Amino acid sequence: MSEQHKYFLPESEIPTAWYNILADFPEPLPPVIHPGTLQPIGPDDLAPLFPMALIEQEVSTDRWIDIPEPVLEVYRMWRPTPLIRAIRLEKALNTPAHIYFKYEGVSPSGSHKPNTAVAQAYYNKIEGTKALTTETGAGQWGSALAMAGKMFDIPVEVYMVKISYHQKPYRRSLMRIFGAEVIPSPSDRTNAGRSVLEQDPDSPGSLGVAISEAVEAAVTSGGAKKYALGSVLNHVMLHQSVIGLETMKQMEMAGEEPDVLIGCIGGGSNFAGFVSPFVREKIVNGKETRVVAVEPAAAPSLTKGKYVYDFGDTVQMTPLMKMYTLGHSFIPAPIHAGGLRYHGMAPIVCHMYDLGLIEARALHQNPVFEGAVLFAQTEGIVPAPESAHAVRAAIDEAIAAREAGEEKVILFNLSGHGHFDMTAYDAYLAGKLVDYELSEEEIDQALANLPQIA
Ligand SMILES: *Cc1c(COP(=O)(O)O)cnc(C)c1O
C-alpha cells in the first residue's frame, strides 16, 4: 500500500456540473410550505429574495446542473482542493485504519463557503441585482460572500451579530478588506433592528435578528437588493457537491474506498456536499458505506430534535421546512463552534437521516478541541472549531478500528481552518471550556413552540 500523502487533481478535473441528490432520493423531499396557506411555496414567493436561477435550482430534480464558466473561473483560484492522508495522525493513534481528509480550508476565506457564495454572486450579477444582503454570526459566511461579491463586482451588506462584531474583529476586518459593508446587528437601519433596540438598546444581537434585518433590507429595496443564505437551502447543498465529486476521483487515485464518511453539520452544507455523491452510490448501487453527521451536543438537532415543519429563523419570517429541529425559538449555548449553533438542519440532510442513509452523533466541545489539538500537532493544520467535530469523530473511529484490529478506511471533510478562532483555542488550553448538556426538559420546552401543522 502506498504511503502517499496528498492527492491533487489538475484544474481540468474540477467538476463542470453540480450533482443534485434530489434526482436520486427513493422518496421525494417533503415540500417547503407557506406558513399562511400551508400550501407548497412557489417561485413567486421567493422572487423578492433570490434570483430566478437559484429558485429553479432550489426545486430542480435534474441530476446534473452545469456550472457556469465564470463560476469555474473563480473556483480555479483554489480548486481542486487537496485530499490528504493523515499519516502522522494514524501513527499517533497507533491505528491500522487509513485516515483521509478533504481540505476545504485552502479557499480565500478559509472554508467551503465560497463554493456557494461564488455561484450565488454570479447568478445575482447576471440577473441585475444591485447589491446582496446577508447575515453572519462569527463571520465565515460573511467573508465568503464578501470575497465572492468582489469577484463579480456586486456590493455586499453584511449584518453581523453585534456581540461577534465586537468580539471577533478580525473576520470583520476580512470582510472589509474584501470590500463589504459590515453593520452591527441590531441596527437602526431596519424596522426589525429598531424594534429590538427600542426594547434593549444594549442588545448583543442574535443570528435570528440579523437574518430578519438582512431579509428586510432586501425585500424593501424594490428589487435592487437580494438576500443570500450560506447553508440549509437545497441550492446551497447543490453547489457544495463539488467537494464530494472531487473527493470521489481523489479516492480513486488513492486506490481506496471509504468504509466510513464523516462531516460536521451546522446547517448541513459542507456535509451534504461532501457525502451526496457517495450517498448516491448507496441508493443506486447498494454500497454499504457508513455516513456519519457530527453535531454539537449543545445543538443536537438530528440526535434529539423532532422531524416536523418549522421556521428557518427565530422571528418566523421564513417559509416552513420539514426538518429535525429543536424549535425556532431555541437559542443554543454559546459554544465556540458558532457555525454549528443552529436550531434546525438542511431538509436534504434530514431526509437522508429519515431514510436511514446516514447516522448522527453529538459531541461535547472539550473532546472536540482535544482532538483538534492532536490533529494540529500531527498534521500541522489548526481546524476550525466546526470542522473539529469531524476530526474528533474520525479519531474515535480510528481508535475503534484499532481496538477491533480492523484496517478501516476513514474519510472526513475538514471544512475550514481555525486561524481566526484563536480565542476559542485559548479558552480550551486554559481549561475554560464548558460542556453544555441539554436536559430533556429544556428540549421539551424548546419544542413546545413549534407551529401546529396537521
Ligand atoms: C459555517 C461552517 C460550518 C457549518 O455550516 P454547514 O452549512 O453545516 O457546513 C462548518 N464548518 C465551517 C468551517 C464553517 O465555516
Q: How far is the CA of 320 from the centre of ligand 1 (A)?
A: 22
> Which CATH number is associated with domain 17-67+112-234?
3.40.50.1100
Residues 6+ apart with CB under 8 A from 3: 85, 87
Q: How far is the CA of 339 from the centre of ligand 1 (A)?
A: 5
Pocket test for ligand 1, best of 238, 269, 276 (most atoms within 8 A of CB): 269
Architecture of domain 6-13+80-110+241-447: 3-Layer(aba) Sandwich (3.40)
Pocket test for ligand 1, best of 81, 115, 116, 231 (most atoms within 8 A of CB): 231
**342 backbone dihedrals φ, ψ, rounded to 5°:** -135, 140
pTM of the model: 0.97
Q: How far is the CA of 3 from the centre of ligand 1 (A)?
A: 30
Distance CA 330, CA 257 (A): 39
Q: Are 195 and 172 in contact (CB under 8 A)?
A: no
Protein residue whose Cα sits closest to atom 14 of ligand 1: 339
Protein residue whose Cα sits closest to atom 13 of ligand 1: 416
Q: What is the mean pLDDT of the chain?
A: 95
Q: Which atom of ligand 1 is nearest to the CA of 265?
A: 8
Distance CA 365, CA 363 (A): 7
Q: Which atom of ligand 1 is nearest to the CA of 231?
A: 7
Q: How far is the CA of 270 from the centre of ligand 1 (A)?
A: 6
Q: Which atom of ligand 1 is nearest to the CA of 113?
A: 15
Residues of the chain with pLDDT under 50: none
3-state secondary structure of 409: strand
Residue that the C-alpha cell 502522522 belongs to: 88
pLDDT digits (tens, 9 = 90+) for 58-96: 999 999 999 999 999 999 999 999 999 999 999 999 999
Residues 6+ apart with CB under 8 A from 361: 292, 293, 294, 295, 303, 393
Q: What are the helix (H) ranges across 14-161?
A: 43-46, 52-59, 69-75, 87-93, 114-126, 140-151
Q: How far is the CA of 201 from the centre of ligand 1 (A)?
A: 31
Q: Give the angle 93-291-267 at the CA atoms, nearest 5°.
A: 105
Q: How far is the CA of 319 from the centre of ligand 1 (A)?
A: 22
Q: Is the dihedral of CA 357, 361, 365, 368 positive or negative?
A: negative
Cβ density class 255-288: b for 16+ within 10 Å, e for less? eeebbbbbbbbbbbbbbbbbbbbbbbebeeeeee
Q: Which atom of ligand 1 is nearest to the CA of 417?
A: 13
Distance CA 63, CA 70 (A): 21
**Protein residues whose CB sits closer than 6 Å to any atom of ligand 1:** 111, 113, 140, 231, 264-271, 339-340, 384, 386-387, 415-416
What Rg, from alpha-carbon coordinates, does the chain have? 21
Q: Are 271 and 422 in contact (CB under 8 A)?
A: no
Pocket test for ligand 1, best of 120, 145, 270, 363 (most atoms within 8 A of CB): 270
pLDDT digits (tens, 9 = 90+) for 225-256: 999 999 999 999 999 999 999 999 999 999 99
Pocket test for ligand 1, best of 112, 235, 276, 294 (most atoms within 8 A of CB): 112
Nearest to 325 by CA among 267, 385, 272: 267
- What the block records as the C-alpha cell of 404 is 477491533
- What the block records as the C-alpha cell of 195 is 424594534
Each domain of the chain, given as residue ranges in start order, spans 6-13+80-110+241-447, 17-67+112-234
Given this model, what pLDDT does residue 418 score?
A: 97
- What the block records as the C-alpha cell of 101 is 481528509
- The Cβ of residue 232 has, within 10 Å, a number of other Cβ atoms equal to 23
**177 backbone dihedrals φ, ψ, rounded to 5°:** -60, -40
Q: How far is the CA of 100 from the centre of ligand 1 (A)?
A: 19
Given this model, what pLDDT does residue 390 score?
A: 98
Q: Do domains 6-13+80-110+241-447 and 17-67+112-234 have the same CATH topology?
A: yes
Q: Which atom of ligand 1 is nearest to the CA of 110?
A: 13
Given this model, what pLDDT does residue 376 score?
A: 98
